[in-house]
Structure 1
Amino acid sequence: MAYIQVTYVEPYFDTSELQRRLTHFEKSYGLKRFMYATPFTMDGRAHGGLNEQYKRKTILTTERAFPYVKTRISVIEREQLILTPIEVAIEDIQKKTDELKVSTTQEPADAKILQMVIQGCIGTTVNQGPLEVALTFLTPVVEGKEQPTIHHNRIRLCFKEFTRRCAEALKRNKTLIGPDQREYQKELERNFLRFSERIQPLISCKPVRKAKRFENIK
């Protein structure tokens, strides 16, 4: 019995391509490589804890470039990349950072989308969210239980950028809300303050100063 697997793919660009394909048009035309991801753990489960979660990226190369006169084109090459748990975490934080950047700079601004993104990043009810990611992968290094690797340095830098984008998003949101959402804004700022205070010792090699409050956001 034969099976057909139907799955969603997205365009795949390596580092050199991303440097060349800068515009939306360039990222939408002349596409020959596509990617889909499959989560897995070493014990056979699809999903596990943050430090157990691997990801398999399957990259497909087609015979001709899309868009094309035909909607189906033969795949001529297939390769796989395996991401370790910390690499999966780095990719996830980078994605959230990009979402913050897009929703903050979007014109015209969309307060609902912006608030959804902020809530997903620093909301207190977010399970396995950014703070949990930082605690999982950086605490052993801070406590001296693990030697820092290039991936630990990368994730530290990712969290610094992520934290900066969160602050920008909060400032942007404050300019968009009405009187009825002022308390909600304060709650978001409190959440961010708690997040900053907990993550700062993990991403800073210097003595940590208490995070500044947001009363002066304008």
Structure 2
Amino acid sequence: MFRLQRMFGTYFRVGFYGCRFGDLDEQEFVYKEPSITKLAEISHRLEEFYSERFGDDVVAIIKDSNPVDKSKLDPNKAYLQITYVEPFFDTYELKERITYFDKNYNLRTFMYCTPFTLDGRAHGDLHEQYKRKTILTTSHAFPYIKTRINIIHKEEIILMPMEVAIEDMQKKTQELAFATHQDPADSKMLQMVLQGCVGTTVNQGPLEVAQVFLSEIPEDPKLFRHHNKLRLCFKDFTKRCEDALRKNKALIGPDQKEYHRELERNYTKLREALFPLINRKIPQLYRPMPLPTIPSQRNSLSRSSFRRVEC
């Protein structure tokens, strides 16, 4: 017997720029589309729709999700900026939104991420890769009687390179945990995730992150806690790799034993390379707290007497 799963929506942010749009100029909306809709599909549909109204050479699609500078746009054209967005929940919300339905109902807040570097490029080396997280709030909640709702509030959060690395490692760890505890177990999915974490061709990924950010203690004390958090992320990551390897060993047949041994060898190399990087603590974070000074009885009495005189 097949279990039918309800199909929820896919969401896109659409911005309108240009005087040809009239009241829509500089307005932004979240569009709800069928769950299988791709970015290219909605882009083509909206471009075709507005081209019929304004003309073929008038409508242009802004390809990136960076903030739009209207002074650089052609005033004779109508611009659309379309970005895939995901429902966004605060930590406290996730404790209540447990089921698949909970996470797809009563949605008013959405988020999209834009990678950037300080010199204007979208992507750079790990130590120069920033990320802009844009959080959008709509005037009403989805599901709604309309398939688009206007955006009434926008908030931007800038992540520094080390914070970007922390998010990336947390995502890898979550993927490992999900693949390991998936019920029913999916050996192909588990092996694909494991290969992406410890495979010889991608060892440079997690290892390079550790070498870039954990090789030296940062000079800026403001980065101490980020450094420590990333170190703990790697400890959790290696533990999840062990769990995944143990689960894979229990799932495979005789024909995959050599492949599994290769995964174990690669993991051992990765763990040995990571060990000195993730086991060095920042001394400043582990200094003992100074004991509070207790005033002598004589001084305490004199101060209390002084307070009584004041009253």
Specify the SS of the correspondent of 1:73.
strand
Give the match for residue 158 of structure 1: 233
C-alpha deviation, 1:129, in angstroms: 1.0
Separation in 2 of the partners of 1:175 and 1:69?
50
Question: Deviations 1:29-77 (Å, cap 9, x if unpaired)?
Answer: 1111101111100111110001010011111101111122221111111
Asked if the contact 2:235/2:278 (under 8 Å) is kept, the reply is yes
Instruction: Confirm whether residue 180 of structure 1 aligns to residue 260 of structure 2.
Output: no
Q: Decide whether aligned partners of structure 1 residues 164 and 127 sit closer, same or farther in structure 2, where only a CA change above 3 A counts.
A: closer
> One-letter code of the match for 2:115?
P
Of 87, 104, 123, the residue aligned with 1:11 is 87
Asked if the contact 1:140/1:146 (under 8 Å) is kept, the reply is no
User: How does 1:11-30 map onto structure 2 within 5 Å?
Assistant: 11-30=87-106
> One-letter code of the match for 2:137?
T
The structure 1 segments of at least 4 consecutive aligned residues displaced by more than 6 Å after TM superposition are none
Give the match for residue 61 of structure 1: 137
Larger radius of gyration: 2
Name the structure, 1 or 2, with higher relative contact order (CA <8 Å, separation 6+): 1
User: How does 1:33-182 map onto structure 2 within 5 Å?
Assistant: 33-126=109-202, 128-141=204-217, 149-182=224-257
How many residue pairs align between the two structures? Answer: 204
Q: Which has the higher strand share?
A: 2
Query: Structure 1 vs Structure 2: percent identity of aligned residues?
Result: 64
C-alpha deviation, 1:12, in angstroms: 1.0
Give the match for residue 209 of structure 1: none
Asked if the contact 2:85/2:110 (under 8 Å) is kept, the reply is yes
C-alpha deviation, 1:24, in angstroms: 2.6
Which structure 2 residue ranges, 5 or more long, are not aligned? 1-76, 282-311
Separation in 1 of the partners of 2:96 and 2:79?
38
Asked if the contact 2:131/2:159 (under 8 Å) is kept, the reply is yes
> One-letter code of the match for 1:195?
L
C-alpha deviation, 1:127, in angstroms: 6.7
> One-letter code of the match for 2:194?
I
> One-letter code of the match for 1:87?
E
> One-letter code of the match for 1:171?
R
Q: Decide whether aligned partners of structure 1 residues 84 and 145 sit closer, same or farther in structure 2, where only a CA change above 3 A counts.
A: closer
Instruction: Confirm whether residue 199 of structure 1 aligns to residue 274 of structure 2.
Output: yes
> One-letter code of the match for 1:30?
N
Question: Deviations 1:101-123 (Å, cap 9, x if unpaired)?
Answer: 11100111111111110111111
Q: What is the TM-score with the length of structure 1 in the denominator?
A: 0.88
Give the match for residue 189 of structure 1: 264
Specify the SS of the correspondent of 1:129.
helix
Asked if the contact 2:203/2:270 (under 8 Å) is kept, the reply is no
> One-letter code of the match for 2:261?
K
Q: Decide whether aligned partners of structure 1 residues 128 and 71 sit closer, same or farther in structure 2, where only a CA change above 3 A counts.
A: farther
